[in-house]
């Protein structure tokens, strides 16, 4: 550990997560490296302004706990086709006049669903196991209030019968802000976001 030099360091605390066998959780340490608090079970977490800890616990569960670890809020995405991963964020939703949670998830797609999106049927043998990212927003009750599915923002010029085809006389360049499903080498883990941010 690097020694603390009060003349060179800003005052405050640091959250450090551990992912060691049998020791998964978040430590809050002061600038001298002393443990101030420990919340077990978190794989990733953020310390909120009110002193509560908010984060991921396990593969599909998000929790907010108080200083003593009592659960104040919890949500598990139990949909078999959705797999939360990497980042999440608590935001204030002015339409709901309440806090909500945004998180990234992989959404499973079948071979036929990927072909229906206009993917090149000759690019790979089968598209089974394909996942595309979705940004999910849930309210305080754990209800999904909004989703941004990347599959709804694709475009392609290969399959005229697909709903996301560019249309006659148009090109991919006519659709800024959309992703060409056939651009580059198709990956079954399409995009795979690692971080999320919110700009109100």
Q: What are the boundaries of each domain within the chain?
A: 11-76, 86-194
Fold annotation for 11-76: Thrombin, subunit H (2.40.10)
Instruction: For residues 135 and 197, give the distance between their C-alpha atoms in angstroms, rounded to a whole number.
Output: 11
Which residues, at least 6 apart from 21, have a Cβ–Cβ distance to it below 8 Å?
A: none
> pLDDT at residue 1 above 80?
no
CB 43 within 8 Å of CB 54:
no
For residues 189 and 124, the answer to whether their CB atoms sit within 8 Å is no
Strand ranges (DSSP E) for 9-164? 13-20, 23-30, 35-40, 44-47, 53-57, 61-65, 71-76, 82-93, 98-109, 130-138, 144-149, 154-155
200 neighbors 90 (Cβ within 8 angstroms): no
pTM of the model: 0.88
List Cβ neighbours of 188 (8 Å cut-off, separation of 6 or more).
124, 127, 129, 130, 131
- Cα distances from 132 to residues 39, 75, 114, 115, in angstroms, run 32, 22, 10, 14
Q: Are 62 and 104 contacting, i.e. CB atoms less than 8 angstroms apart?
A: no
Distance of alpha carbon 67 from alpha carbon 98, whole angstroms: 22
Q: What pLDDT digit, counting tens, does each position of 122-162 carry? A: 877 788 889 999 999 999 999 999 999 999 999 999 999 99
Contact between 158 and 118 (Cβ < 8 Å): yes
Residues written for the chain:
200
Q: What would the two tokens of residue 6 be?
A: 């009060």
Is the pLDDT confidence value at 171 over 80?
yes
pLDDT tens for 39-68 read 999 989 999 999 999 999 988 999 999 999
| pLDDT recorded at residue 39 | 96
Among 54, 49, 27, smallest CA distance to 38 is for 27
d(CA 60, CA 106): 11
For residue 9, the model assigns a pLDDT of 79
Query: 5-14, 85-94, 149-158: lowest mean pLDDT where?
Result: 5-14
């Amino acid at each position: 550990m690097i020694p603390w030099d009060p003349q060179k360091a800003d005052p405050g605390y640091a959250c450090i997560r551990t992912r060691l066998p049998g020791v998964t959780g978040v430590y809050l340490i002061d600038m001298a490296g002393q443990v101030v608090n420990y919340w077990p079970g978190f794989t990733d977490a953020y310390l909120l302004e009110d002193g509560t800890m908010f984060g991921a616990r396990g593969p599909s569960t998000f929790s907010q706990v108080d200083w003593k670890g009592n659960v104040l809020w919890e949500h598990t995405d139990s949909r078999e086709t959705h797999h939360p991963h990497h980042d999440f964020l608590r935001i204030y939703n002015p339409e709901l006049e309440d806090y909500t949670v945004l998180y990234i998830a992989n959404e499973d797609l079948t071979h036929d669903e990927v072909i229906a999106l206009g993917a090149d049927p000759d690019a790979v043998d089968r598209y089974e196991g394909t996942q595309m990212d979705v940004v999910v927003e849930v309210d305080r009750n754990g209800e999904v209030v909004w989703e941004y599915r990347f599959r709804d923002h694709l475009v392609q010029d290969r399959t005229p019968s697909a709903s996301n085809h560019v249309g006659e006389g148009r090109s991919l360049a006519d659709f800024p802000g959309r992703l060409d499903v056939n651009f580059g080498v198709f990956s079954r883990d399409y995009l795979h976001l690692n971080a999320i941010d919110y700009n109100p």
